[in-house]
Amino acid sequence: MPLKAELHCHIEGAAAPELVIRQAQKYGEDASPYIQNGSFVWHDFTSFLAAYDFSADLFRTEEDYARLADHYLTSLARDGAIYSEVFTSPDHATKAGLSPKAYTDALGEGMLRAKAKTGIEGRMIVTGVRHVGVESIERAARFAARCGNPLVTGFGVAGDERVGEMEDYVRAFEIAREAGLGITIHAGELTGWETVQAALDHIRPSRIGHGVRAIENPDLVRRIADEGIVLECCPGSNIALKVFDSFDDHPFPALQAAGCKVTLNSDDPPYFWTSLKREYDIAAEHFAMNEKALAAVTRTAIEAAFVDRKTKAALLARLNGAAR
Ligand SMILES: [Zn+2]
């Protein structure tokens, strides 16, 4: 089994169905409209969001969030992952009645519990949500910059790409950059190559969340390769959301062949009936990647990780040790 690393996963979207059912029991809610036979059920973006919000709403206390991070990272480690970055969303915390600080520290506590059991390293990327608005994104950036949790190492923007313009988020990203945080932004998933170009022009991230629709513009693909931008690819998510018709139509191999740095990620795994392990399996099956090629993808992810130099060196040493 190849060692794995993940850069793109939304923590609220990572809650496994069995954990959500347990949380629903705890709070006296009925999960059956959203989870059947151990899987989330949805059929369009609206019902996807309904299931997502139902489940996210079942995480309310610090202990709930600690359990969520612990459960997810422990399951990743079981599948061979040595490193995990998750997107966190202070807006979710506020909705649940927790302060962003309490929410973040609780997730961090869960990550440390998973690390104590399995050795997996975890970090957090605080995200603003586009469809909530520019002000909340800047609030999230200010929070990320001064929250003081050592596991918060990045800032990003997620949410509906069709809302807002990249220029709107420049100030938020400047706040994050000044605080020394790593920068990533979702683009080129539900919208075309233009949003990837706008992200590179205005936000100057080292990584792009998805970015796969850059494939529509060969000049942009060349620019991504030349600038060494890392793409956080999520093939299972893309197929579930019908961004591409099938895995055989997915541009992962073409982007890689063009010299772009690509990584494998699960996005909101149980909602897309996937896992990080399944993404590696998809790459093996549909993108003709052998163990060595998959290990190289893990290396790319660790090299692009928002983590201190010492931890990165230790992770690379683990990877090298496993390759021997
Ligand atoms: Zn995402």
Task: Find all residues with CB under 8 Å of 44, minimum gap 6, and list them.
Answer: none
Cα(8) to centroid(ligand 1), Å: 6
Indicate which residues carry an active-site annotation. 189
- Does 208 score more than 80 pLDDT? yes
Give the start-to-end residue ranges of the domains of the chain. 4-323
DSSP-derived secondary structure for 113-182: HHHHHH--EEEEEEEEEGGG-HHHHHHHHHHHHH---TTEEEEEEES-TTSS-GGGGHHHHHHHHHTT-E
Q: CA 67 → CA 16, 109, 134, 230, 290, distances in Å? A: 11, 9, 31, 30, 34
Query: Binning pLDDT at 50, 70 and 90, where does residue 323 land?
Result: low
Q: Find the mean pLDDT for residues 223-229.
A: 98
Cα(279) to centroid(ligand 1), Å: 14
* Residues 88-122: tens digit of each pLDDT: 999 888 888 899 999 999 999 999 999 999 999 99
Residues lining ligand 1 (ion), CB within 5 A? 267
Task: Judge if pTM exceeds 0.85.
Answer: yes
The confidence score (pLDDT) of residue 315 equals: 98
What class has domain 4-323? alpha beta
Amino acid at 10: H
Cα(316) to centroid(ligand 1), Å: 25
Cα(158) to centroid(ligand 1), Å: 6
Place of tokens 């939304």: 10
* Residues 25-50: tens digit of each pLDDT: 999 999 999 999 999 999 988 898 89
Cα(32) to centroid(ligand 1), Å: 25
Cα(321) to centroid(ligand 1), Å: 31
* Residues 52-70: tens digit of each pLDDT: 989 999 999 999 999 999 9
Cα(310) to centroid(ligand 1), Å: 27
